[in-house]
Every structure is written in C-alpha cells, then in structure tokens.
C-alpha cells in the first residue's frame, strides 16, 4: 500500500457490494478523486458520522500496489456544514454545484482554486447567506477559473460597448458567449434578458476578489435574472443539463 493524506469535500457516495461505499471527493491535493470505503456500510463505528455529503474531511488513503481505487483508511471531520443538510433549498444548491464539479473536473488533477471556491460556497450556505447570491458567485468564479467567463462588456454582434447600448436591457447569446443588444436581435423578446444594472453587478463579481464579495447587494430582480442566465450558460458549456438543476428550479418554485 502507498499511503497519502489530504483534505476533501464529499461530492458523491454510492453503494458498492453489501458493505462498502464508493466515494467521490474534491480533494485539496489531487482534485477529483474516487475512493473505496471498505465496510463503511456494515460497521457503525467505522467512519461514524464522517462520510456525509458536502462535509469537509481530513483523510488518509492508500493506493493498492496492484492497482485499483485507493482505499480510505482513516477519516475525520473538519467542517460538517450541517446548516446545509438541515435545509431543503440549500441542499438543492449544493447538489447542483456538486454535479457540475463531478461532470466538469478531470479525475486526479489538482484544482486548488475550485476547492477553495466550493468551500466558500458551502460555508456561505451553512452560515445562512442567500443561496441564490452565493450560487451566482459560485458559477461566475467556476467559469472564470475554467477560462469560460461570459463577455459582459459589449454586444457580441455589433461590438458596441455596454454603456453605449441604447435601452435598459440586453439579452445573452449562449453560443457566442456574450451580450446581444436590442438592435441586433431579430426576435421580439431578448434571449435571457439582463438589465444593465444586473450586468454591471455581474461584471463587478468577475473582477473582484472572493473575500470582497460579501459587500455586494442584489435586488430580487437581479438575482432572478442572473440565476436564469447562469443556469442556462453553465450547462450549455458543460454539454449536458444536470438533473440537479431541474430539481433546484422545482425547489425554488415551491419556495415562492
């Protein structure tokens, strides 16, 4: 066995055989990592209360010399984020982010910035910060770290700067990855409409440090516009529509 240790956030837990769990974590040292927790389902004492979804844990694992999944040997709680699992809507947001990362990230490739981003998002959900605003920040930074930030500076068709675009709203062209002004759209309604005030707030997030984001104030309209836009743009570039996104929308509708 070749031992190693790290911190990790549990994204997925799947039953394996009669006694084991297959775990997928976002780890600090190795990025997305799948491991097997032997006898974790059979024994109440082994890993007791440690392997809960969205918890941050410290762990020791070992790679078998003959290959195969690394084996979880020890684990301890660093931050349980219990405030998430006690709230249906916050759990839905965390599940959506988790599915994005499970699909987006490569196995075994360190993603330190994304690890700290996820931890920031989970801590915000746990602490009672607005889940909608937190999700806006999470998605914009995930796009930024992945090199896929939307262009919110100008119309993607006529290249007119935002401040010179007439009217109070723009649309967003998912394929071009940028804004589209009312003069350049042929349809009567703008696709994924965003008011200029909302666009400027999103631009501020894109250029700010994560620790300064808490000062940002969103109106209800800006939150709704941003979530509709981002929850279309992110899956578009992901190449699939996460099941958790549809569930999240359903949960939000129930809360209205």
Same domain, 176 and 76: no
- Check residue 107 and report its DSSP letter: B
Q: What pLDDT does residue 138 have?
A: 97
Place of tokens 């569930």: 247
Same domain, 247 and 206: yes
Total tally of structural domains belonging to the chain? 2
**pTM for the predicted model, two decimal places:** 0.93
CATH of the domain at 44: 2.40.50.140
Last residue of a domain, one of 80, 109, 127: 80
Domain of 49 in residue numbering reads as: 1-80
DSSP for 214-228, please give it.
GG----HHHHHHHHH
Q: Check whether 189 has a pLDDT greater than 80.
A: no
Q: What pLDDT does residue 226 have?
A: 97
Q: Check whether 157 has a pLDDT greater than 90.
A: yes
Same domain, 160 and 224: yes
Same domain, 15 and 102: no
Give the pLDDT mean for 141-164: 95
Write the CB contacts of 186 (distance below 8 Å, at least 6 apart in sequence): none
Average model confidence (pLDDT) across the chain? 92
Give the pLDDT mean for 97-114: 95
Radius of gyration of the chain, Cα coordinates, nearest whole angstrom? 20
Distance in angstroms (rounded) separating the CA atoms of residues 190 and 173? 9
Q: What pLDDT does residue 77 have?
A: 95
Q: Please, are residues 190 and 170 in contact by the beta-carbon 8 Å criterion?
A: yes
Side-chain-side CA neighbours of 65 within 13 Å: the count stands at 1
Q: Please state, as a whole number, how many other Cβ atoms lie within 10 Å of the Cβ of residue 92.
A: 21
Q: What pLDDT does residue 191 have?
A: 86
Place of tokens 């770290």: 145
Give the confidence band of 71 by pLDDT, cuts at 50, 70, 90. very high
Same domain, 105 and 134: yes
pLDDT in tens, 8-53: 999 999 999 889 999 999 999 999 999 999 988 887 777 888 999 9
Q: Check whether 256 has a pLDDT greater than 70.
A: no
> Residue by residue, what is the 3-state secondary structure of 127-152?
HCCCHHHHHHHHHHHHHHHCCCCCEE
Q: What pLDDT does residue 7 have?
A: 97
Write the CB contacts of 164 (distance below 8 Å, at least 6 apart in sequence): none
Give the confidence band of 218 by pLDDT, cuts at 50, 70, 90. confident
Same domain, 91 and 70: no
CATH of the domain at 180: 1.20.1440.120
Same domain, 140 and 60: no
Q: What pLDDT does residue 193 have?
A: 92
Distance in angstroms (rounded) separating the CA atoms of residues 122 and 144? 19
Last residue of a domain, one of 30, 48, 80: 80
Q: What pLDDT does residue 188 have?
A: 64
CA angle 90, 58, 61 (to 5 degrees): 120
Q: Check whether 5 has a pLDDT greater than 70.
A: yes
Q: What pLDDT does residue 22 have?
A: 97
Q: What pLDDT does residue 187 have?
A: 67
Distance in angstroms (rounded) separating the CA atoms of residues 150 and 73? 42
Give the pLDDT mean for 86-91: 94
Distance in angstroms (rounded) separating the CA atoms of residues 89 and 72? 31
Using alpha carbons, select from 132, 120, 55, 119 the residue that is nearest to residue 90. Answer: 132
Going 214 to 216 to 217 to 222, the CA torsion angle's sign is negative
Q: What pLDDT does residue 152 have?
A: 97
Q: Check whether 233 has a pLDDT greater than 80.
A: yes
Instruction: For residue 143, report the phi and psi dihedrals to the nearest 5 degrees.
Output: -65, -40
Last residue of a domain, one of 80, 99, 121: 80
């Amino acid at each position: 066995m070749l031992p190693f240790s790290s911190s990790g956030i549990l994204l997925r837990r799947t039953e394996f055989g009669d006694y084991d769990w297959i775990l997928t974590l976002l780890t600090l040292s190795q990025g997305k990592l799948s491991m097997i927790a032997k006898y974790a389902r059979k024994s109440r004492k082994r890993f007791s209360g440690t392997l809960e979804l969205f918890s941050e844990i410290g762990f020791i694992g070992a790679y078998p010399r003959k290959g195969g999944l690394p084996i979880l040997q020890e684990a301890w709680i660093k931050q349980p984020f219990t405030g998430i699992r006690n709230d249906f809507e916050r759990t839905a947001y965390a599940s959506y982010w988790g599915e994005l990362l499970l699909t987006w990230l490569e196995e075994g490739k360190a993603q330190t910035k994304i690890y700290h981003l996820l931890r920031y998002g989970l801590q915000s959900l746990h602490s009672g910060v607005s889940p909608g605003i937190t999700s806006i920040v999470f998605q914009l930074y995930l796009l930024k770290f992945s090199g896929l930030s939307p262009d919110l500076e100008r119309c993607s068709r006529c290249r007119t700067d935002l401040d010179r675009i007439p009217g109070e709203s723009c649309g967003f062209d998912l394929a071009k990855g940028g804004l589209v002004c009312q003069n350049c759209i042929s349809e009567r309604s703008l696709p994924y409409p965003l008011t200029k005030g909302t666009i400027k707030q999103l631009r501020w997030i894109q250029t700010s440090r994560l620790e300064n984001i808490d000062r940002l104030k969103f109106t209800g309209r800006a939150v709704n516009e941003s979530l509709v836009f981002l929850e279309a743009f992110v899956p578009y570039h992901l190449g699939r529509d996460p099941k958790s996104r549809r569930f999240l929308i359903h949960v939000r509708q129930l809360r209205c």
